[in-house]
């Protein structure tokens, strides 16, 4: 769903990281009713109690006891009570998985949601988690590149043949294929991540100051030209530091931003919020931006 305000074409997504499990379905129902484009869920599988890795985008420290649902059944549950709301991971950690299991989960969820699913993918930042699940940290980027190529085929056709360094297999079938396109958005701020995004359907960035956005969009545009994809549809999807109002949205659209991620309540409030508090804040955001 595309929200239009004062000749501005922009998507608004709500982050659900650290949202209470029992509230997710009602939060999704509210977001759908208010006209939000979509919601996003994070991804972790198993968090070691002690790590040396540090989060690359802010001073945030991950509590290893934090609750992380498997995003795909959670999305399927939210899809059953909504009509237009879209769903994405932000981001799904690719290199600690295999492409066939990922394709099966994503396509199943896409079918159950009538095509309202995107895959937000990344290579991860927590070395200890990737290694715990049995995969090389140093080779995670190359593994992810091959996985995304395979997934594009499986999403579209329900079958693939591939001969690479990490995956080498004859023709295999993984039916059903998705009935609607499953966009692949790639997260990350490095040059490698931006080049990876340029080969797919969009880029996801986190926590940007306004003045830092034009340079990164220039890098994205250059990478898309290098891939010969500057004419293809492409999402530039990010979260912004600081307050958001219609004038800010207008400036962002002029820069080329297509989707804005609204911060999670646990991060803006410094703690838990009741369902009523979440709904009130969503209503206030909807009134301020496109009411």
Please check whether residue 21 is in contact with residue 69, taking contact to mean a CB–CB distance below 8 angstroms: yes
Neighbours of 154 (CB within 10 A): 25
Which residue, chain included where needed, has tokens 């600081």?
242
Is the model more confident about 134 or about 61? 134
Q: Write down the pLDDT at residue 256.
A: 96
| pLDDT range class, residue 165, cuts 50, 70, 90 | very high
Give yes or no for residue 276 having a pLDDT over 90. yes
Six-digit token string for 170: 């004859």
CATH number for the domain harbouring residue 252:
3.20.20.30
Q: Mean pLDDT over residues 131-152, rounded?
A: 97
Dist CA 251 CA 235 (whole Å): 16
Dist CA 99 CA 86 (whole Å): 22
| pLDDT range class, residue 7, cuts 50, 70, 90 | low
Dist CA 38 CA 217 (whole Å): 22
Tell me the pLDDT tens digit for each residue of 46-89.
Answer: 999 999 998 888 777 889 999 999 999 999 999 999 999 999 99
Share of the chain above pLDDT 70, in %: 96
Q: Write down the pLDDT at residue 62.
A: 85
- Please state which of the ranges 7-16, 130-139, 192-201, 205-214 shows the lowest mean pLDDT: 7-16
> How distant, in Å, are the alpha carbons of 100, 104, 152, 254 from that of 169?
12, 17, 16, 45
Q: Mean pLDDT over residues 142-157, rounded?
A: 98
Give yes or no for residue 291 having a pLDDT over 70. no
Q: Enumerate the β-bridge partners of residue 38.
A: 13, 86
Tell me the pLDDT tens digit for each residue of 223-273.
Answer: 999 999 999 999 999 999 988 888 999 999 999 999 999 988 877 766 678
Tell me the pLDDT tens digit for each residue of 113-122.
Answer: 999 999 999 9
**How confident is the prediction for the chain on average, in pLDDT?**
93
Q: Write down the pLDDT at residue 242.
A: 87
Is the model more confident about 220 or about 290? 220
Give yes or no for residue 32 having a pLDDT over 80. yes
Q: Write down the pLDDT at residue 288.
A: 87
Q: What is the 3-state secondary structure (H, E, C) of 42-107?
A: CCCCCCCCCCCCCCCCCCCCCCCCCCCCCHHHHHHHHHCCCCCCEEEECCEEHHHCCHHHHHHHHH
Q: Enumerate the β-bridge partners of residue 236.
A: 203
Give yes or no for residue 4 having a pLDDT over 50. no
Dist CA 5 CA 44 (whole Å): 36
Structural domain count, the chain: 1
Q: What is the domain range of residue 151?
A: 3-290
Which residue, chain included where needed, has tokens 């990164």?
216
Q: Write down the pLDDT at residue 1.
A: 35
| pLDDT range class, residue 2, cuts 50, 70, 90 | very low
């Amino acid at each position: 769903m595309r929200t239009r305000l004062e000749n501005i074409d922009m998507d608004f997504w709500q982050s659900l990281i650290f949202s209470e499990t029992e509230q997710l379905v009602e939060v999704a129902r509210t977001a759908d009713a208010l006209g939000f484009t979509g919601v996003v869920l994070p991804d972790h599988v198993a968090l070691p109690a002690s790590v040396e890795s540090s989060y690359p985008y802010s001073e945030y420290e991950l509590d290893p006891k934090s609750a992380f649902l498997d995003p795909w059944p959670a999305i399927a549950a939210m899809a059953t009570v909504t009509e237009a709301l879209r769903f994405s991971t932000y981001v799904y950690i690719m290199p600690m998985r295999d492409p066939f299991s990922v394709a099966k989960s994503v396509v199943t969820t896409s079918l159950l949601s009538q095509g309202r699913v995107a895959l937000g993918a990344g290579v991860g930042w927590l070395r200890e988690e990737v290694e715990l699940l049995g995969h090389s940290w140093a080779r995670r980027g190359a593994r992810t590149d091959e996985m995304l190529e395979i997934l594009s085929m499986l999403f579209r056709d329900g079958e693939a043949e591939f001969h690479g360094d990490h995956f080498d297999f004859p023709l295999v079938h993984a039916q059903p294929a998705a009935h609607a396109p499953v966009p692949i958005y790639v997260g990350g701020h490095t040059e490698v991540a931006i080049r990876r995004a340029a080969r797919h359907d969009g880029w996801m960035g986190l926590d940007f100051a306004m003045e830092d956005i034009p340079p990164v969009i220039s890098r994205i545009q250059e990478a898309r030209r290098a891939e010969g994809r500057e004419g293809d549809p492409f999402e530039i999807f990010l979260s912004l530091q600081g307050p958001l109002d219609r004038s800010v949205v207008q400036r962002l659209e002029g820069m080329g931003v297509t989707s804005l991620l609204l911060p999670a309540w646990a991060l803006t409030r410094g703690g838990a919020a009741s369902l009523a508090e979440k709904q009130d804040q969503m209503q206030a955001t909807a009134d301020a931006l496109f009411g």
